[in-house]
Structure 1
Amino acid sequence: MTSLMMVGDLVLDEPDPDFFFEPSRAVLLSADLLVGHVETPYTLRGTELQSDIPAEAADPGKIAALARAGFHAASLAGNHVCDRGAEGIEDTMAALRGNGIGSFGAGQNLVEARQPAVLTRNGLRFGFLSYNCVGPRDSWAGAGKAGCAYVHVLSHYEQEGANPGGPPLTYTFATPATLEAMQADIELLRAEVDVLVVALHKGLVHTPAQLAMYERPVARAAIEAGADIVVGHHPHIARGIEFHKGRPIFHGLGNFVTVTRALNVEKNAHPARLAWAERRRKLFGFTPDPECACYPFHPESRNTMIADFRIGAGGRVSAGFRPVWIRGSGQPEVLGDCERGRAVAAYVEKITRDAGMKAQFAWDGERVVVTDPRAQPQEGMNA
C-alpha cells in the first residue's frame, strides 16, 4: 500500500518556516508521496505586478523548509504565481528543483505549464497536473509568456426579481476550449501512469461550504477524462468531498502552513494589500481570530486537513484525510480520533452536506476514510 498525502495552500511568509511544520512533521514524513500547493513566488528579483492584489514574494531559501518537511512535489497553477513575473516563476521553480521537489502547473510558456510531474513509488507511476480556474489573466501562460496552466471560467450576472441594483444571480462556467485542453492533457498522461491526480485552483474565497456553479462540472470533466483523484485549493477555507464515477473529489484542501502578515489590517504599509484586507472583511463578513497574528483568515478555516490517499495494487484508491487544526501560532496540528479531531472531521462532513454533496465518513485508526455511498454504503462516522 502506497500513501499519497496532499495539503492545500502553502505560504511561508514568516521567519523560521521550519517552526510552522513542527506539529505536523512526523505525519508528513510518513507519506510515501507528499504534495502541496505553493501559493506565492519565491524570488529576490522581478517587479511586483498590479493587475490583482499582489502577494508578497519570499526568499527562495525558505523552500528548503518544504524539503525538510518531506514534500516531493508542488502545484504552482494559481492566481499569485505570476505576481513577480517570469523571474518569479523561474526562481520559484529553480528553488523547488534545487531542493529535490518537482513542480507542475507553471512554466516560462504554456507548453511548459501544461507538463505533468511524474513520480514513481513502490512500482507505481503517479502523474500530477494543475490548472488555475480563477485568474487573473496576467497569471495565465501563453505561447511566449510565463505563467500557469488554466481553465478560463466566465461569470454571468442576472438581475433577481424586480430589484435593480440588488444582489444578482451568478452563473459561472468554463469555456469549452480550455476545458477540452485540460481533458486532452489528462488523456495523454493517462496512458503513462498508474495514478493520475489533477489539482484545481478554484472556488469562492473566505466562504464556508459554498461551491460556485463551475466547480463540480470542471472537477467531473477531469474525472471523465481519466483522473483518479481531483483536489482543489484557493478559497483559504476547506470544502467538502464527493465522488464521481467512484473517484474522489476533494473540492478544497483548505490552508496548511499559510502564514503571512500581508493581509493584516494592523501595521500594513502596502496600500493595495491594506485596502483589500479591509474590503474582504466587509465582503465576506468575517474578522480573523485575534489570537492568530500571522494567520489572517476566516476563523472557520482553522478546521483543515491532510488528504490521505492509500493506493493499492493496480492503482486502486482509498480516499481519506487526517483532521488538522491551525493553532493560534499558525502551526497546523494533526489530530487523531479524539474529541478535537472528531470536531474537525464533523466540520468537513457538515460542509459536504451543506454543499449538497454525498459521502460517507468513518474512522479507521487516526484517519477518516471517505467513501461513495452509492458504491459502498456504510455507517456514518457519527452514528
Structure 2
Amino acid sequence: MAQGTLRLFAVGDLQLMTREPPADLFAAVTPVLSAADVTFGNCEWPYAEEAGDTHPVEAHINDDFDLGDLFAPGAPESIAMMGAAGFNVMSVANNHTMHGGYRAFLRTIALLEESGIAPVGGGDTIASARAPVIIERNGHKIGFLACTSGFLPGAHAGRRTPGIVPLRRHTYAENNSWHDWGVEPDTRTLVNRDDLAAMIESITALKAQVDVVVLSCHWGILEHVSAIADYQREAARAFIDAGVDLIVSQGPLPIKGFEVYKGKAVLYNMGKFAMISPWSRDETPSGISAPLLDETSRGLAASVTIADGTITGVQIVPVYLGSSGRPQILNPGEPYYDAILGVVAERTAAAKLNGSMDADGRIVLG
C-alpha cells in the first residue's frame, strides 16, 4: 500500500476449545490476515498448559455435560498459531476468557504477548484492563479499547483482582400504558451508568493520543437473529460522541446488522471467525435453542481503510466456517458470498438500522 495509507482487518470470535488444534487451521486466511497493516480479532477462550479454577456455574454445566469438561482451557499452541497467522491485537473482553479462573486468564494474556499479539480489554487489575493498545503504522496512530456486557458474576476486573472490562446492562419490564400494567410487558435494557462513564473516560483519554479509535464490544442478544438491545444503541452513540471511530462487535450466535452514526460504522455482531471444539457443534449443552451449527457456520470481517488520520472506507467481508469451523475469507463470486451479505442486509433492515452497503459490502459512511 502507498505510504500514508493503512489497512486494518478486523474479524469476530476465535474460539478454539480443543487441546489439539489443527495445524492448518489458518492456512486459507493467513495471506489476507498477514497482508493487512493491523489485524484484530476477539480471543474468546482461555488458553493454558493446565486447567485453573472453574466458576461454580460453569462447574455445574461441566457436571451435566456427558462428553467431558465443556469449560476447560484450550491448547497454548492455538495462540501461537494466531500470531503466526498475522494477528496483532486481540480483545480478551468476553464471556469465555475467565472460564479457567485467574490463572488461565493471566496465562492467556501472557501467551498473547509471547506470540506478538497485544491484548486489550483485560488485565490483572481494572487499571491494566482499561489500558488501551496503541499501534503506529504508516504515520498513523490507531488506538484499541474493548469491553463486554456478557459475563458471569466476578469475571470483571477490580482494584486488586484480574478480569475483563465490564459494560453491564440492566433489564426491566415496560408496558405501553397504565391499562396494561403487568400484562405482556416489553423487555427493555439500560446500560450501566458507571461502566458507561468509565468507558467514555477511557475513550476521551485515548482519542487525545491517536488518530483513530477502534472499540470492540462483546455484547447483544444471544440467540435472536436480528434484534439489537436498547442499551447497545444507547452506548454505541455515546461512544462515538466521545471519540470512537469504529465499533466492531461479537457475542451473539447470529451475525447481525450495522448502522452509521455521525459517519462512523457500528457493526453490531461479526459472529465467529474460527470455532474448533472437541465435540460436534450440533450439541447444544448450554440450553441454547438457536440452530448453533447454522449460525456459527458464517461470520463477518471488516476491511478498513485509513488515510490522512481518518477512516475513509469500511467494507464488510463474508467469512465461511462451514461445519469444520475453519475460516475462509470469501471473494465476490465465491459460494456463500452473496448469501452472507444478503443476511446482513436483511437483519439490518429487520432491526431498523440505517446501514447501507453496495453489492460488495462497502458501507456508505456519508
The two structures share one fold, judged by TM-score above 0.5: yes
Q: How does 1:116-195 map to 2 (within 5 A)?
A: 116-158=132-174, 168-195=185-212
Higher deviation after alignment, 333-342 or 218-227: 333-342
Cα deviation 1:329-350 (Å, max 9, x = unaligned): 2112222111631221111111
Cα deviation 1:267-326 (Å, max 9, x = unaligned): xxxxxx83x2xx212xx4x3xxxxxxxxxx251342321111111112233111211222
Q: Look up the match of 2:262.
A: 245
Displacement of 1:159 in angstroms is 6.8
Higher deviation after alignment, 308-317 or 155-164: 155-164
> What residue identity is the alignment partner of 2:347?
I
Question: Is residue 288 of structure 2 the alignment partner of residue 280 of structure 1?
Answer: yes
> What residue identity is the alignment partner of 2:43?
V
Question: Is residue 9 of structure 2 the alignment partner of residue 5 of structure 1?
Answer: yes
Alpha carbons of 1:320 and 1:82: their partners in 2 closer, same or farther (altered >3 Å)? Answer: same
Q: Distance in 2 between matches of 1:136 and 1:325?
A: 29
Q: Look up the match of 2:64.
A: none
Q: How does 1:293-308 map to 2 (within 5 A)?
A: 297-308=292-303
Q: Distance in 1 between matches of 2:237 and 2:27?
A: 36
Q: Look up the match of 1:360.
A: 356
Q: Look up the match of 1:16.
A: 21
Q: Distance in 1 between matches of 2:192 and 2:246?
A: 22
Q: Distance in 2 between matches of 1:51 and 1:183?
A: 31
> What residue identity is the alignment partner of 1:213?
D
Displacement of 1:180 in angstroms is 0.8
Q: Look up the match of 1:28.
A: 33
Q: Look up the match of 2:330.
A: 335
> What residue identity is the alignment partner of 2:193?
P
Higher deviation after alignment, 185-194 or 173-182: 173-182
> What residue identity is the alignment partner of 2:361?
V
2:276 to 237, 259, 282: 259
Q: Distance in 1 between matches of 2:169 and 2:188?
A: 10
> What residue identity is the alignment partner of 1:99?
S
2:362 to 364, 369, 374: 369
Structure 1: 5+ residue runs without aligned partners? 267-272, 287-296, 376-383
Q: Look up the match of 2:67.
A: none
2:321 to 315, 320, 326: 326
CA contact (8 A) 2:51 2:72 kept: no
Q: Distance in 1 between matches of 2:130 and 2:176?
A: 39
2:56 to 50, 56, 63: 50
1:70 to 74, 86, 91: 86
1:212 to 219, 229, 233: 229
Q: Distance in 1 between matches of 2:12 and 2:207?
A: 24
Displacement of 1:152 in angstroms is 1.7
SS of residue matched to 2:244: coil
CA contact (8 A) 2:72 2:100 kept: no
Q: Look up the match of 1:317.
A: 312
Q: Distance in 2 between matches of 1:199 and 1:214?
A: 15
Alpha carbons of 1:318 and 1:45: their partners in 2 closer, same or farther (altered >3 Å)? Answer: same
> What residue identity is the alignment partner of 1:8?
G
Displacement of 1:78 in angstroms is 1.0
SS of residue matched to 2:357: strand
Q: Distance in 2 between matches of 1:22 and 1:12?
A: 15
Q: Distance in 2 between matches of 1:251 and 1:313?
A: 26
Displacement of 1:21 in angstroms is 1.6
Cα deviation 1:20-77 (Å, max 9, x = unaligned): 2222222212211111000111122421112355733112222111011100010011
Displacement of 1:164 in angstroms is 10
CA contact (8 A) 2:250 2:268 kept: yes
Cα deviation 1:80-113 (Å, max 9, x = unaligned): 2222222112100100000110001001111111
Displacement of 1:153 in angstroms is 0.6
> What residue identity is the alignment partner of 1:104?
V
Aligned length: 348
Cα deviation 1:147-175 (Å, max 9, x = unaligned): 01111211113478999998642111112
Alpha carbons of 1:265 and 1:354: their partners in 2 closer, same or farther (altered >3 Å)? Answer: closer
SS of residue matched to 1:19: coil
> What residue identity is the alignment partner of 1:51?
V
Q: Distance in 1 between matches of 2:280 and 2:96?
A: 14
Q: Distance in 2 between matches of 1:317 and 1:117?
A: 21
SS of residue matched to 2:36: coil
Alpha carbons of 1:302 and 1:168: their partners in 2 closer, same or farther (altered >3 Å)? Answer: farther
Q: Look up the match of 1:41.
A: 46
- RMSD over aligned CA atoms reads 2.3
Q: Distance in 2 between matches of 1:220 and 1:193?
A: 20
Alpha carbons of 1:263 and 1:115: their partners in 2 closer, same or farther (altered >3 Å)? Answer: farther
> What residue identity is the alignment partner of 1:356?
K
Between the aligned residues of both structures, percent identity stands at 28
